Every structure is written in structure tokens, then in C-alpha cells.
A = this chain, B = another copy of it.
Amino acid sequence: MTKRTDIGADLTKNQSLVMSALAGSKGPMSAYSILDEIRSDGVRAPLQVYRALDKLVEFGLVHRLESLNAFVACQHPACDGRKEKTVLFTICETCGGVQELVKDRLSKAIEGLARELEFSPSKSTIELRGMCSACKTATEN
């Protein structure tokens, strides 16, 4: 009961439930809001959700947004699996929308910096908070 090479395939029961909740959500979800969604499926305790999230993050199917204490389903085809890439998130504080990006120039800049500092990153967090283009045009009414 494990393989996971296909997106969403062969997850355990709790992992599937958490994944579905996230995949069905427009924006990021907190662990507790995920729990509320899947209580009806028999999940009762926060720990069950956190454990599933840990695995999903490890698999690269879910990302944690540190500045929100929340989680999103991976939107980026290039994350495919646990390959460590430098991912950036934009988070619109008006509509709550999150966009996930991998940009070569940015990755290069980070890698170069790490080399220069002789710092070995195991994980990078890059989050931009602000206003997305859609909300901006909506405000200019």
C-alpha cells in the first residue's frame, strides 16, 4: 500500500483524505481546517492530520507556507516528487490566492549565495506577501 509515483496514488487512508481536502480547496488550509473537513470521514485528532501532512510534504505533494502556518497542494508540475528545487510562493493578502513558482534566475541566485557563504541549505522558504494583479486591477475601479 505505497507507491506514490503517480500523483495521489497509493497514499494511505489518512493521507488521501488530507490530500483530497487540500486539492479541493482554492487556497491554503490550516491543519485544523483540514481536520474539520475530514471529521466526517472518521479522522478525529490533529495528530492524524499532522502526520499525514508530514508525509505529503515529504513526498512533495504538499507545501507548507511558513508565514501562514498553512498548507497547499503542490501546483507545480516540476516539483514532481521530492526533488529539491527552489520554490517561491506569492500570497495575496487581499484574495488569499497563492501561486507557486520555480524560477531559474532565482534558484541560481540562491545557489550562488549559498556557495558563497559555504552554507548547505536543506530547505528554502521564499514567500512574498502582497497583492496579486487581479486584486490590483479590481481596486482601480
Hey, which chain B residues are within 8 Å of A119, CB to CB?
A: 90, 92, 99, 128, 130-133
Copies, count: 2
**Among the listed B101, B106, B120, B129, which residue makes an inter-chain contact with A122, where contact means beta carbons less than 8 Å apart?**
B129
Interface residues in A88-141 (C-beta closer than 8 Å to B): 88, 90, 92-93, 99, 101, 103, 105-106, 108-110, 112-114, 117-133, 136
CB of A67 closer than 8 Å to a CB of B: yes
State in angstroms the CA–CA spacing of A46 and B66 once bound together: 21
**Among the listed B110, B131, B136, which residue makes an inter-chain contact with A106, where contact means beta carbons less than 8 Å apart?**
B110
Measuring CB to CB, which residues of chain A are less than 8 angstroms from any residue of chain B?
A: 66-67, 88, 90, 92-93, 99, 101, 103, 105-106, 108-110, 112-114, 117-133, 136
